[in-house]
A and B are shown apart, each in its own frame.
Chain A
């Protein structure tokens, strides 16, 4: 199964990735190869099979709604590329 360049562009946008024209060509080719691999799954009928999301069919554990964490904002914000007064700075969003 091969994938069109327009699909590649659409997916790249969803994934917030920027690809050059050459990278788009390469992506189309390698993704097509991978899709051929994946299409082998269609060879078996799974109509009556339940999907398996977790190896032991576990469900999300819950805990009591009590505060157990403390605020580490200042310490964690030292890792930010740009921050000021407790806010993370990014290029202007609102015109």
Chain B
């Protein structure tokens, strides 16, 4: 039963094929068996999960179950979960038991979901390989010497290894889409502001967005139905109306116009990956879509602009970690300044400190215009590029990542080589647009993802496009070792 996707589980529970308690216990057994090696979970909530499962079964027996009742999921460990450690994979918050639930967590609890645990991630969401976690790296279930991608590597690995039916995750520069690509699953980053960020520990506030990791687009639509919507507690959360994201999954794709950015098919893209991507695009043509080339002229500047904006926002967001009110405090501080400096230096890992330094520099007097304002202008150009492209096409497709998963430890020499991992995904966050990655093939038995980008608030269309591909193909059904 743990092989089943979320939508299948929902139907099976409704039909009484098994109970939520049986299913939850089976997932917990799998986690106990696999997590020691994979390291996908930081915290497993056994007692709480079984209590939630029992409550869901009871609600079902009274005829009070909804579509998400009793479905076991996991939350990335930067969503605050009341009474449960919320660590952001950092020593800084290793002792932090959250006093409240994030809106996303509340929504799933209200829908009757079962929370199996909190998944591993790059520290404070800063990374593209899940190697910067205080709790150690996550391994890719397809090949355990390789990274699962990051920063949502734990959520991706957990879904790929069938340790949960679905998982929440976040994406600031590619942190859902890239790990989804590396682990052969479906990752969705909604439009900026589609999902509330209240209770979601902030990395870069104008870029962060909560999303989903699932086996399929149909499953992602079910999760988005629970997550999307306005929230008065998050003033960056859009008040745009939501919809039932499962309602238009079955629309045929005749007349769909797909754009392929010429810049995403140039040097740097592995030729085996390119072939898989072009084969996938050809599949869409068989489904009735037309394809044309588009140009995202300022694509080559997206990584540069991002590595000013994101660290700058991170330096401000992480200034709250000072050892005063919660989190790590160093031992025997000699004075207040020593307390701040040593608590932060001992509590944060190297990559986090590096980004705080870069951000502080970019915002400091004398550099603010040359770096931060310049990056915001580049951001405007990038947004305009997408707007121009969407006058001609409905969705934009291309590779999620230039290659397949790389070995753990292989990109530690120069941070910039790691930053270039997100070369195709970052512009989507800068423009605030929705993006997905779906598995479309294998290269040397490793998964490869196709990125699909849509207009603002076009999640339903993206999910429809992905779902139609998944009805015609079976890449999304492949699992490691099967």
Contact = CB atoms under 8 A, between A and B. Distances in A.
Interface of A: 3, 7-8, 11-12, 14-19, 27, 30-31, 33-34, 36-44, 46, 49-56, 58, 60-61, 63, 72, 75-82, 88, 90-93
B338 A91 contact: yes
Contacts of B361: 3, 7, 11, 31
A54 B415 CA distance: 27
25 contacts: A3-B361, A8-B357, A11-B357, A15-B319, A16-B344, A18-B341, A30-B354, A37-B304, A37-B307, A37-B419, A41-B301, A41-B305, A42-B370, A44-B378, A46-B378, A46-B381, A51-B377, A51-B379, A54-B206, A55-B456, A56-B238, A79-B96, A88-B325, A91-B338, A93-B336
B192 interface: yes
A92 B474 CA distance: 64
Contact of A75 (B99, B345, B375, B456): B99
B373 interface: yes
Q: Which 5 A-B pairs have the closest CB atoms?
A: A55-B432, A51-B376, A46-B377, A52-B380, A18-B341
Given A14-B364, A51-B379, A44 B298 contact: yes
A19 B357 CA distance: 11
Interface string B362-376: 101000001101111
Q: Is the interface of B mostly helix, strand, loop or mixed?
A: helix
Q: Contact size class for B?
A: 35 or more
A54 B414 CA distance: 30
Interface in B201-250: 206, 232, 235-236, 238
Contact of A18 (B315, B345, B362, B419): B345
A93 B357 CA distance: 26
Contacts of B319: 15-16
Contacts of B192: 55-56
A61 to B, nearest CB: 5
A50 B376 CA distance: 8
Given A91-B334, A93-B336, A27 B431 contact: no
Interface of B: 96-97, 99, 192-193, 206, 232, 235-236, 238, 298, 300-301, 303-305, 307-308, 315, 319, 322-326, 329, 333-342, 344-345, 348, 353-354, 356-358, 360-362, 364, 370-371, 373-381, 383, 414-416, 419, 430-433, 456
A79 B96 CA distance: 7
A44 B353 contact: no
A58 B356 CA distance: 26
A81 B232 CA distance: 31
A67 to B, nearest CB: 14
